[in-house]
Amino acid sequence: MPERELTVGVGAGGLATADMVLNIGPQHPATHGVLRLRITLDGERIKSAEPIVGYMHRGAEKLFEVRDYRQIMVLANRHDWLSAFSNEIGVALVVERMLGMDVPERATWTRTLLAELNRVLNHLMFLGSYPLELGAITPIFYSFREREDLQNVMEEISGGRMHYMFGRVGGLHEDLPAGWLGRVRDTVALVRGRMPDLESLLIGNEILHARTRGVGVIDAKTVAAYGISGPIARASGVDIDLRRDQPYLNYAELFAPGGPGRVATRTEGDSLARLEVLLEQVHISLDIADACVERLGALGPGPVNVKLPKVLKVPEGTDYLATENPLGFNGYYLVSRGEKTPWRLKLRSASFNNIQVLAELLPGNLLSDMVAILGSMFFVVGDIDK
């Protein structure tokens, strides 16, 4: 039941008015997770908004401290369940850098390929679920059709459809299945060829445009103040992508002049711009995936991991590494005391910064625009709560 705060003011015609405090949640809105918004309304206009998180907190960072470097992969995999492979790779990369470990080239190209396929899967989920939240049912059937084809090749290589657990410190769990690269090439071509079906339902949808254009505008100054990153930042004209600006894996080559990598940006900063950035990034990631398949085909057979000692200990010290996850920057701050478990592993997840801006973004908007703004922030609550 909504709360009421009385004796706030006098409305038109001398009528006494009262602000209403409305709780949106806590509930589980499909794929995003359990979130609560405490909104104060003056009529239908939002006066203040407070995102309240913590309903899914599992203490993953504390659990890292009692598990060895092989075991923490399964915990770090899950906080953003739509970007599981990207989460795995961030942990592996920071551990490998502290170990001074060189990973086989074939493993690095495969990691890059899987990270981009995972990025497409993440974006397709939001490209389907966001219109659904606005009342458009059809797009999610198209986005899930494409997701299903991509999930098939991810399942074939890893055995999982959501939490892949295919990345390892030192490389990958095992070699690629016979003929898998060809099936990836065919799937990427199939998805690319069918993307216009989904795009016509979004970009050509007058109702969706009316609900999102000019709604929930975030400027570049606000992006910097709140540490917003990823597609939301780039939709506000902030041209930053760690794959290009602080490259890891094989992104330095892929984002070099003439390569398939490029950064999608918009300047409007509204809900529609954020949707358009996701759409463009799907095409970019498919192009990068094609380039990775071509390179892996040219490399031929070879090792995909490094043989590790029975007890893996990381030298004493600290290191920080950030990756460009589908939702934005994911930072990994590792503190080691030379033992087989981390003394501390802190995750800087993208969704936390991206969702805290709602306290500034929602006031002044109509309640009917709240869902359009909230859905365009592209967050996963597990990524906030960890």
In this structure, of 56-60, 70-74, 103-107, 164-168, the range with the lowest mean pLDDT score is 56-60
Query: Strands (DSSP E) along 286-343, which ranges?
Result: 317-325, 328-336
* pLDDT for res 6: 38
* pLDDT for res 359: 92
Per-residue pLDDT for 7 more than 60?
no
* pLDDT for res 75: 86
| 19 pLDDT tier (thresholds 50, 70, 90) | confident
* pLDDT for res 30: 55
Q: b/e for 138-150, b at 16 or more Cβ within 10 A? A: ebbebbebbbeeb
pTM for the predicted model, two decimal places: 0.91
* pLDDT for res 29: 52
* Long-range contacts from 96-103, C-beta under 8 angstroms, 24+ separation: 96/169, 96/170, 97/319, 97/321, 98/314, 98/315, 98/317, 98/319, 98/334, 98/336, 99/169, 99/314, 99/315, 101/169, 101/170, 101/306, 102/306, 103/170, 103/171, 103/305, 103/306
> Are residues 248 and 93 in contact, defined by beta-carbon separation less than 8 angstroms?
yes
Residue 11 or residue 144, greater confidence: 144
* pLDDT for res 14: 58
Q: How far is CA 262 from the centre of its chain?
A: 18
Per-residue pLDDT for 3 more than 90?
no
Q: For the chain, how are helix, strand and coil distributed in percent, rounded to 5? A: 45, 15, 35
Indicate if the alpha-carbon torsion angle 198, 289, 267, 124 is positive or negative: positive
| 8 pLDDT tier (thresholds 50, 70, 90) | very low
* pLDDT for res 262: 95
Per-residue pLDDT for 351 more than 60?
yes
Q: How far apart are CA 361 and CA 342, in angstroms?
A: 37
Domains in the chain: ranges and CATH: 3-52 (no CATH), 60-385 (1.10.645.10)
Per-residue pLDDT for 11 more than 80?
no
